[in-house]
Amino acid sequence: MKLLAGNSNLQLAGDIARYLDMPLTQASVRRFADEEVFVEIHENVRGEDVFVVQSTAFPANDNLMELLICIDALKRASAKRITAVVPYFGYARQDRKPGPRTPISAKLVANLITVAGANRVLSVDLHAGQIQGFFDIPTDNLYAAPVMSDDIVARYGSENMMVVSPDVGGVVRARALAKRLDNAPLAIVDKRRERAGESEVMNIIGDVEGRFCILVDDIVDSAGTLCNAAAALRAAGAKAVVAYCTHGVLSGGAVARVEGSELMELVITDSISRPEIANAQKLRQLTIAPLLGEAIRRIADESSVSSLFD
């Protein structure tokens, strides 16, 4: 088994390598003067089971091309099996046609990864479960819920907790986390999105009076939805509001928006490299390196990945 890292999240790749007690494969992933991506593997990978760690976060297109070219380089170097480890799968929100003459870009990216030569894909908290069906190769979708629930119990276990979904579409995710928290009660924020990137909170479904509310979502981008939801929950009598999100896209002024919001804390994982949040007062990062490392070990050993979540 070998572990190859792209440039999108070297810290996470290094942490996975340390968990597996193995070095990262020696390789060069660099740019030519015109920004073309060039990859050179400096070790023999013939007949090896190779895992390529690369999130396709900002800059999404550059990181996606790095992943595709790494896969192609490994395929031409006769690797036995290539697994694309994509902690954050970019373009996942384009999983359907929201209107006429629009693309389904998540399917296109799935095709690109498959045609490049990947034999399998490993990701974390895909935005929509049906994306697994976009691939014609085996796809494992891991869940960050166990990592989050352990942290919630350690920090807020004595509180009168209630898990809150920031929209109707996230109820399944929120219910799964609530189940891990000794079947904590569930509330839903009913919102209406007028246009992309903007949301308006309408009302709260559930009694949050005096509750310690835990908002849970897969992606935090502009943070507008979370901040509006936190304000609505506080207005409805919530004692405090913290948010747990797997993928911290945090585009534009998201960090400043969170800092000035009613949120007590926003916790994200390191699926996306975000070193700039180190100085933020309300943001904290959890590592999913052990989760990914254990899944990689089990895939290499041909043992069960789903039993990770039993």
Please list the active-site residues: 191
Judge whether 247 is annotated as a binding position: no
- Taking the C-alpha atoms of residue 113 and residue 293, their distance in angstroms, rounded to an integer, is 21
Judge whether 276 is annotated as a binding position: no
- Taking the C-alpha atoms of residue 245 and residue 226, their distance in angstroms, rounded to an integer, is 10
Residues 6+ apart with CB under 8 A from 100: none
CA 305 centroid distance within chain: 18
Closest residue by Cα to residue 216 from 225, 208, 204, 205? 225
| Kind plus residue range of the DSSP H or E element containing 158 | none
Judge whether 221 is annotated as a binding position: yes
Closest residue by Cα to residue 177 from 304, 91, 267? 267
Closest residue by Cα to residue 143 from 163, 156, 129? 129
Judge whether 224 is annotated as a binding position: yes
Judge whether 34 is annotated as a binding position: yes
Instruction: State the alpha helices, DSSP H only, in 48-135.
Output: 60-76, 105-116
144, 124 contact by CB (below 8 A): yes
Judge whether 35 is annotated as a binding position: yes
Judge whether 167 is annotated as a binding position: yes
Judge whether 222 is annotated as a binding position: yes
- Taking the C-alpha atoms of residue 110 and residue 114, their distance in angstroms, rounded to an integer, is 6
Show binding-site residues for D-ribose 5-phosphate: 193, 217, 221-225
Show binding-site residues: 34-36, 93-94, 127, 167, 193, 217, 221-225
Show binding-site residues for Mg(2+): 127, 167
Show binding-site residues for ATP: 34-36, 93-94
